[in-house]
Chain A
């Protein structure tokens, strides 16, 4: 009996310590060799045998219901005998964690054929060594002019070092929402356009006897990149990490960071700004006059406001009157992995084309409020009806068309840490009354350290 108990104890010791094992080696970086046209011609063609695909997605709530519908429709309608198994893998960041873990464990058999990912997964995909990019697919299955059907800004968002990684699926941008009734009370008949307008609006509201603040938000890395982009600067080098791995900040020497921080602090000092994390709740309950948020939220905000006041949508706030209009693209794309099976890769490409087709994009836009990335979707009756019912959606589309190239999303390795470091740095400036120059220096040190740490551990 003593032996039995001792055995269990030993087993417990082994199991309790099993987590301490050294992590598996990182998968070596490989690049999927693009198939040549000749090679593709000799390989089995779609339709010659049934194909089963795995598709990881992060579509939740209404989007999840729609995603299930698209998968079912594709399975029923495609003429090639392709069956897609859609698997919800949690939120984008969870799916990225899963991807990194699989790659780290070299468990490539668990990789999906197609995956929906947002910017947090971009570098993991690039470094996976198992990427079968859109560029690879277009080389293997040539379709001249194929990419011209998509909005250029949406496409650019999913490029790295000049390679088109995936195709945009859920596309949104950031716009300004305003409470038209509160603005009227302050004597305003147009939406605020710049940070200075926010301060002026607050002064007018106060003069009219109102106690509401105007804006409640703390900038994070994507919003900071937007505002720096308006000033003609990138947050990090290599075009915000789109042309190559970001190695340094790009907004300090140009003075753009300090210009932004100065304008931001002036807005706070005027009393117009609440230095709190952005939430639509305060706007919906009438507590603030203006909020910035995803263009995909129009329907949801209108539903929640429920007619309590008139909701207006305007282009994204500008730092100052000299800044360009626009905001970067956010949302997600669909990427493919190299399974080593040419039939599965061809089938994955068919599925990706289906998900990003004009019809699906228009239907998805009508169901969720995202901007269809396929130009052809604009002409569909579904999308036309949406614009007729909610003209507010048209603002986002137009903004996306007008956004200059300098406004592009940030791709950095330590994306999550960057996100929170920017929030912390800007919030601390207001809370501890730092000068914009001091805050810029602190932010520079913090963000540079994050980049260097990442480069050191991934070199």
Chain B
């Protein structure tokens, strides 16, 4: 009985710490949403809650001053397509690195890891020159082509694929399963959690991209993304955070929806029973 009480107390303590840490992480989002309902005068005061959640002027102004809905569609297209292609490339590369033996395999792997050390900003001008010479400026392809390959995703998937026993592939091959079928019908379904996590992470990073989409669409304002739209709400020499926060709140909606839809898949990695029967 005494041990049972001790365990319950321990659980309660861990839960409290987890909730506290969770609140710290979620607080900026809460602050952003609450700030979007504040008047300029309210925003200058240190009070956290707005006087009324019926004050929608910031949202109205945000939608008036920048075509945020149009920009959201562009962001969705680039984030979705970019994430999908990036994941497909990572899956193929990770499969090759884990299931085939070829000369220079280790070198390839370390070269991939090496690209993770390069800060993105240093590649800006070189990437622009490349995309410009490929004639991909002012196109969706130009906006996402530089994000097709993610060394970190390849690395994570490689480690995941390595965690499966070789017997799994041998068993599949004995049953007449080729590499493509093995990958699509056996391996990937077993990695659903990892794939979902990588997709969500990639989607959010592409959704939040600012400078690259801005530069690549210099002559195509209709192709601008939501983050560019949010800077359009920012005043030159003044701080009008409430308007910016309204724009950010609007931009958060698709991310929330995506997370809600994919949440169930996030912990679906499972190999139990894969070698039975």
Contacts and interface: CB of A to CB of B under 8 A. Distances in A.
B218 A105 contact: no
Contact of A104 (B95, B122, B125): B125
A5 B100 contact: yes
- Chain A binding site: helix, strand, loop or mixed by DSSP? helix
Contacts of A304: 40-41, 43-44
B232 A12 contact: no
A118 to B, nearest CB: 9
Interface in B40-55: 40-41, 43-46
B74 interface: no
Contacts of A20: 115, 118, 123, 126
A89 B231 CA distance: 10
Interface of B: 39-41, 43-46, 64-66, 89-90, 92-93, 95-97, 99-100, 102, 108, 111-112, 115, 118, 122-130, 132-133, 137, 145-146, 148-149, 151, 154, 178-180, 210-211, 214-215, 218-219, 221, 224, 228, 231-240, 243
A94 B228 CA distance: 10
Contact of A9 (B93, B129, B237): B93
A284 B42 CA distance: 10
A280 interface: yes
A125 to B, nearest CB: 16
Contacts of B92: 4-5, 8-9, 12
Contacts of B40: 300, 303-304, 306
Interface residues of A, number: 63
A1 B179 contact: yes
Contacts of B93: 5, 8-9, 12
A13, A91, A98 interface centre (most CB from chain B within 10 Å) = A13
A338 to B, nearest CB: 18
A296 interface: yes
B214 A23 contact: no
Interface of A: 1-2, 4-6, 8-9, 11-13, 15-24, 54, 56, 58-65, 87-91, 94, 97-98, 100-102, 104-105, 107, 110, 170, 172, 279-281, 284-285, 293-294, 296-297, 300, 303-306, 308, 330
Given A98-B214, A104-B129, A110-B218, A1 B232 contact: no
- Chain B binding site: helix, strand, loop or mixed by DSSP? helix
B126 A21 contact: yes
Contacts of A87: 218-219, 221
B45, B64, B93, B145 interface centre (most CB from chain A within 10 Å) = B93
B95 to A, nearest CB: 5
A91 B244 CA distance: 14
A284 B228 CA distance: 28
Contact of B239 (A56, A281, A303, A330): A281
Contacts of B130: 18, 21
Contact of B235 (A4, A18, A300): A300
B81 to A, nearest CB: 15
Contact of B132 (A58, A94, A105): A105
